[in-house]
Structure 1
Amino acid sequence: MLNILLVTFPFFALVLAGFVAARRRMLPLEAIPGLNGFVLFFALPCMLYRFGSTTPIAQLLDATVIGVYLVCALVMVAFCIAITMNRRIRWNDASLGALVAAFPNSGFMGVPLIVALLGASAAGTVILTMLIDMVVTSSLCIALSRLDDAEGHGRQAMLDAGRKALRGVLGNPMPWAIVLGALASAYSFTLPKPVEQTLWLLADAASPVALFTIGAVLARAQMQSNHPMPLSDYLPVAVMKLLLHPLLVLAVGLGAIQMGLPLAPAALTVMVLVAALPSASNVSLLAERFGADNGRIARIILVTTAAAFLTFSAAVSLTT
């Protein structure tokens, strides 16, 4: 366990550093969007392209991994909405809460952390789970979040939500970086050396800047959400993310293996660790954009990120 903590500590320490920097105003809050933009549009796509282009294409097209992880994501969304909806929490808040329960921070945190723990061979499985969460889980939850409007505007509101979700997917550079990397892997394409070295430098910056940015985003969200909130509004969702999600992936994955499906134990281990990650910090941006209770979403992300230092390390200890 100590060896695992020695690997995970620097990652969470960088998150803490970003949190403290923003809280103490050493990093102006106005600078956070710039850091986000650098990570989202430059560093992280380069890192994903590098992993995609150096991963065997068969690993990026594993249908069993896709099926198992997708089933678990859909179950998590349905269960979280069913458990949390009440007179105050309607479709918008319940759906974005379900997204934060089912969408791990696999981009900003998962890829570098799991690769550091398990080696570069784990990258392909992490990338597959990212695609599912960015394309399917996010789009579904955004569409469901518009059901409150659909009660008054019917089908048109749902169509508008579908178009917004599709624009969000198409405008996200990370799926495109993964696709381009997969094509490069399939056709053994290599970039000219100066271009490759430039992209690799940006890729090397992705992990530290992304982790620092997570902390800064969490601090900003906490500073801007001052209204009181009962623990019951956000703590159960945090528990679902950190405990129920990885256990569900483990159970479904073991069931798939028992049924004879070609799921490698190493791939299942990676999926369980992805599910054990804290909630994706970008869900807070979606909640703000779609008018959900961003204070609630920010609290869930903050709790899962703080607690994951122990829960994620425990998951690594139990599965590897």
Structure 2
Amino acid sequence: MTYVIINALTPIFVIMILGFWAGKAKMVDNKNVSLLNIFVMDFALPAALFSATVRTPWSGIVHQGSLIVVLTLSMWIAYAAMYFIATKGFKKSPQDSAVLTLTVALPNYAALGLPILGSVFGNSSSTSLAVAVSIACGSVLMTPFCLLILEREKSRAAGTAQGSTLSMLPVLMWRSFKKPIVLGPLLGVILSAIGLHMPHIVLHAIKPLGIAATGSALFLTGVILSARKLTINKAVLVSFLTKNLIQPFIAWGLVVIFGIQPQIAVTAILMIALSAGFFGVVFGNRFGVQSPDAEATLLLSSALCIVTLPLFLSLTSGMMH
């Protein structure tokens, strides 16, 4: 099992190291990655997420309802708690806190989900469905929280904010949901729900973008990291512990409370136990928000996932018997 985890994590580190090297060697301008960010955030990732969700049968999504509830609540609880700690405890700005908490709350479903679940349940259609549902939950039900805060602070900085956050909510929601990174998977879910099958030629046309999504996002993350001086501080340690240990136990508590059947319970716990994802860092960069703690958390969570993930694999093994 350790080999499976190392095998799943290796591409993540290799591609980020290549991006880091490219930035340090000045092959890529690591101070200005807006063009690469536009490609990743507005084209590659939306295409990948749209393809994943539009091909997921609506009946399968409904059947995975209990998985959706556990994943969503685990992410929301972790996000709310970490955002409070970041703003009140560590006195971070709302933008920095939003980026850090998204990094903590949203696991790396896209890169690690299928290898890890496949090693436990086999590479079946139900495994692929569970990963697709996890990706949809993260992109549709989690990322808008971060976008809402970033859009709000952007409006305030520009002097265009009118009234309280609550009064601004409809405008902020519209700005967030029309972003390709949210609109892509949301549109895929809607089309799946109404039973509209996307023509094969359309999916075939955007397939290269989807294939490039994870690799380009990891490369971009490496380039961003190359421009920073990373340090491990109290905020990073708290974020790591929240992501790699506390959040999976939150998921565990939820599956016990709801009495969820074993296979879905194990799936939910292992999906939440994955290392931190790169969305927070990439989102922040798009809005000009630098969060060294989020970047350090991403690296620490990914590196030590090799220790914490086997822990939850071992703890959940008894559920299936």
1:196 aligns with 2:199: no
User: 5+ unaligned residues in a row in structure 2: which ranges?
Assistant: none
- Deviations along 1:290-315, one digit per CA (max 9) or x if unpaired, are 89772333332332233334434554
Instruction: State TM-score, norm by structure 2.
Output: 0.74
Q: In the alignment, is the contact (CA less than 8 A) between 1:110 and 1:126 conserved in 2?
A: no
Q: What is the identity, as a one-letter code, of the residue corresponding to 1:66?
A: I
2:307 and 2:239 map into 1 onto residues whose CA distance is 17
Q: Match for residue 129 of structure 2? A: 121
Q: Match for residue 75 of structure 2? A: 73
1:33 aligns with 2:34: yes
1:196 and 1:290 map into 2 onto residues whose CA distance is 29
Shift of 1:244: 0.8
2:293 and 2:170 map into 1 onto residues whose CA distance is 26
Shift of 1:158: 1.9
Q: In the alignment, is the contact (CA less than 8 A) between 1:69 and 1:129 conserved in 2?
A: yes
Q: 2:244 pairs with 242, 245, 248, which one?
A: 242
For the structure 1 residues 193 and 102, does the alpha-carbon distance in structure 2 shift closer, same or farther, using more than 3 Å as the test? closer
User: 5+ unaligned residues in a row in structure 1: which ranges?
Assistant: 258-262
2:191 and 2:89 map into 1 onto residues whose CA distance is 50
Q: 2:141 pairs with 105, 113, 132, which one?
A: 132
2:202 and 2:282 map into 1 onto residues whose CA distance is 32
1:202 and 1:112 map into 2 onto residues whose CA distance is 19
Q: What is the identity, as a one-letter code, of the residue corresponding to 1:104?
A: P
SS of the aligned residue for 1:29 comes to coil
Q: In the alignment, is the contact (CA less than 8 A) between 1:11 and 1:113 conserved in 2?
A: no
Shift of 1:286: 5.3
For the structure 1 residues 94 and 196, does the alpha-carbon distance in structure 2 shift closer, same or farther, using more than 3 Å as the test? closer
- Deviations along 1:225-255, one digit per CA (max 9) or x if unpaired, are 7xxx772232212211111111211221232
Shift of 1:94: 4.9
For the structure 1 residues 91 and 6, does the alpha-carbon distance in structure 2 shift closer, same or farther, using more than 3 Å as the test? closer
1:102 aligns with 2:102: no
For the structure 1 residues 132 and 88, does the alpha-carbon distance in structure 2 shift closer, same or farther, using more than 3 Å as the test? closer
Q: 2:219 pairs with 191, 200, 212, which one?
A: 212
Aligned positions, number: 301
For the structure 1 residues 12 and 299, does the alpha-carbon distance in structure 2 shift closer, same or farther, using more than 3 Å as the test? closer
- Deviations along 1:103-144, one digit per CA (max 9) or x if unpaired, are 33445x356655765542323331342122123x4367669x
SS of the aligned residue for 1:156 comes to coil
Q: Match for residue 8 of structure 1? A: 9
1:164 and 1:278 map into 2 onto residues whose CA distance is 33
Q: What is the identity, as a one-letter code, of the residue corresponding to 2:269?
A: V
Q: Match for residue 232 of structure 1? A: 234
Instruction: State TM-score, norm by structure 1.
Output: 0.75
Q: 1:267 pairs with 240, 264, 268, which one?
A: 264
2:168 and 2:285 map into 1 onto residues whose CA distance is 15
1:312 and 1:12 map into 2 onto residues whose CA distance is 17
